[in-house]
Every structure is written in structure tokens, then in C-alpha cells.
Structure 1
Amino acid sequence: MPLTVDQLAGYTDRGLDADLARWFPGEPPVRVPVSTRPVEPFLARLPHGAATALAGFDRRVRSGAMPQFLDIYDWSYGFDFEANGVGILDSDYETELSGDDVWSVGCDGGGNYYTVLTSGRVALWFHEEEVLEADTQYDNLDVFLWSAVRYRAVRAGALDLAAVEADFRSLGQPGVLAPELGLLASLRSSRKPG
């Protein structure tokens, strides 16, 4: 039976810890300073389910016990766009957003930030264009984290792509399926020949 977005509701609280323990047991823990920007003002702007997921993720990040799997550092978690003098354009490349409209949950390793939007969707903010690219979006944080954990596990050789590719496809997330920017394209381009 194909996996659906609805089936992943609550993943952050009910499945993330077990997946991280299974696939990333030796990773160092995430460490962010106590002075990291508080998430509570942003939570108040989110739909209920999105706020629950982000609050649960924030607790794990600040606990000092969550394995590092998403480039979550003091410079990438809760990044203050305005204080750092960078802009945010919506995916139409015209609408200007403020730092209050997004919450960064980590980085992709190339200076681009995964951000939760006030709609509850997740999108990658590209630092060169300062834009939230439409082809990088996910329906919500639960789906994004489920996907990101499996992507990193495949990259690390802890999970076979064949075991998860059908689920990736059935979820239909642009951030996974986009031909050039999606996680599947990245996994294919990183495969060694022969």
C-alpha cells in the first residue's frame, strides 16, 4: 500500500528518535547554544499540526541528545536572516518575506537553509538568489524530516535506496522528486559507477 502524507502526521514525535538511533548511532549530537533564538514566537504563527511538529523538533535540537544528521549548528538553526543582512524572496522571485515568515531547521551542506514557512510547508532557501525555491518544497515538517533522515541514511550506506524509493515517489514531494534539485536526483548523481 503506498505511503501517504497523512500517514506521516506526528512522525517528529513518534518516529524520528527511533530512526535516528537506528541509522545514525555514532553521529555526534547536535549542539546549539542556550542563546539560540527562541522558537515560540514562530510557533504561534503556524497551523496546529505544524506547530506541534516544530515544537517537538526544537525540543530535540536543544536537548543535546539528537544525532547530527541535517547540518544543524549554531549558525544554521533558527538563523536570523535580518540580523545577518540577507533577504528572503518567495518562490515567485518577487514577494519579499521577513525573517518572521520562516524558521530555519538546518542546512543542506552547501549554505542553503531548510526553512519552515508560516503555512507549515518546508522549503529550501538558496543563499545565492536569496529565494525559497518552489521545487524544493515539502507538505510539512513531518514529511520533510522523514525524507531527510532516509536521504542521509542512503547517502551514509545505512539504507538501500530500493527500500525507500517507492515511498519517496508515493509521497509526491517536489523536494524529493524535482528532476534537478530533488533528493532523488542528488542520490543518483552521487552514485559511483560500476
Structure 2
Amino acid sequence: MPLSPADLAGYVDRDLDTDLARWFAGTEPITLDGDVRPVEPFLARLAPADAAALAAFDRRVRSGTMPAFLDIADWVYGFDFAANGCGILDSDYATELTDDDLYAVAADGSGSYYVVLTNGQVATWFHEEEVVEGHTRFDNLDVFVWTMVRYQAVRDGKLTWADVQDDFDALAQDGAAILLR
């Protein structure tokens, strides 16, 4: 049976630790040294399932127990766009957003950030145009993290593309398609 986004509901809270132990044991943990924008005000803007996923993710990141399988540092996690003089446009390139409309959870390695939106989706904030790109979306944080764990495990040689291809295809996430180019 093909995997669906609904099958991954609760992944960050329920299954992430098992996958991290399986593929990233011994990987240096994420450490946040500076002040990081609190997540609680943003959690209040999310649907309960999305808030639960981000709260579980946040607990792991802030506790220093999350292996660094994503590019997360205190300068990106909870990034304060306004304080850093960065604009935020929605994918229509016209609607201005604010820090209240998104929460940065990781960097993509090129200067852009993965952000959770108030509708629960995860998208890429493209730094060169200061826009939340429409074609980079994941349905929610559970799907994003599940995908990124496997993507990094493939990159590290712990899984093969054949191990994940059917699930990636079944999930049909625009953000995953960008990763695989």
C-alpha cells in the first residue's frame, strides 16, 4: 500500500527518535548557543497536529539531543526576519508576510531557510528574492522531517535511492522533488 502524508501524522513525536538512532547514531548533536526566538507564540497559530509536531521538534532541537542531520544552528532556528532586515513575500510575490506567519527550522545549505507556515506546510524561504516559494512545499512538518531523515540517510550511504523511491513518489511532495534534482 502506498505511503500517504496521513500515514506520517505524529511522526516527529512518535517515530523520529527510532530513525535517528538507526541512521544517525554517533552524529554530533545540534547545539544552539545563542538566544533563539521562542516557538510558543507560533505554536498557538497552528492546528493542533501541526503544533504538536513543531513542539516535539523544538524540544529535541533545544535539548541538544537531535543529531545534526539538518543544517540547524542558532543563527537559523527561529530566525528573526524583521530584526535581520529581511523581507518575506508569499509565493505570489505581492503579499507581505511577517515573522508571525512563519518559523524557520533549518537552512538548506545555500542561504535559504526551511520554514513552517501557519497552515502547517513547510516551504523554502528563498533568500535571494525573500520569497516563500510555492513549488518547494511539504504538506507538514511530519512529512518534511520524515523525508529529510531519509534523504540524508541516502546521501550518507545508509539507505539507497531504491529503498525510498516508492515512498517519495507516493508522497508526491514538491519540496522533495526539488531535493532530488
TM-score, structure 1 length as denominator?
Answer: 0.91
Per-residue CA distance 1:21-47 (angstroms, 9 max, x = gap): 111112111111363111000000001
1: distance between equivalents of 2:109 and 2:95? Answer: 26
Report what 2:92 is aligned to: 92
The offset of 1:18, in angstroms, is 1.1
2:180 match: secondary structure: helix
Letter in 2 for 1:78: G
Report what 1:159 is aligned to: 159
- How do 1:8-157 and structure 2 match up within 5 A? 8-33=8-33, 35-157=35-157
Letter in 2 for 1:110: S
2: distance between equivalents of 1:129 and 1:36? Answer: 24
1:144 match: secondary structure: helix
2: distance between equivalents of 1:75 and 1:10? Answer: 27
Per-residue CA distance 1:80-100 (angstroms, 9 max, x = gap): 000000001101111110011
Letter in 1 for 2:74: D
CA RMSD of superposed structures (Å):
0.9
The offset of 1:184, in angstroms, is 1.9
1: distance between equivalents of 2:88 and 2:26? Answer: 35
Report what 1:190 is aligned to: none
1: distance between equivalents of 2:105 and 2:81? Answer: 13
Greater relative CO, 1 or 2 (CA 8 Å, sep 6+): 2
Report what 2:180 is aligned to: 184
1:88 match: secondary structure: coil
2: distance between equivalents of 1:90 and 1:184? Answer: 24
Any stretches of 5+ residues in structure 1 without a counterpart? 186-194
2: distance between equivalents of 1:103 and 1:183? Answer: 21
2: distance between equivalents of 1:33 and 1:58? Answer: 15
TM-score, structure 2 length as denominator?
Answer: 0.97
The question of whether the paired residues in 1 share the 8 Å contact of 2:114 and 2:124 is answered with yes
Runs of 4+ deviating beyond 6 Å: none
2: distance between equivalents of 1:20 and 1:111? Answer: 25
1: distance between equivalents of 2:94 and 2:40? Answer: 28
2: distance between equivalents of 1:151 and 1:136? Answer: 15
1:164 match: secondary structure: helix
Letter in 2 for 1:117: L
1: distance between equivalents of 2:100 and 2:50? Answer: 15
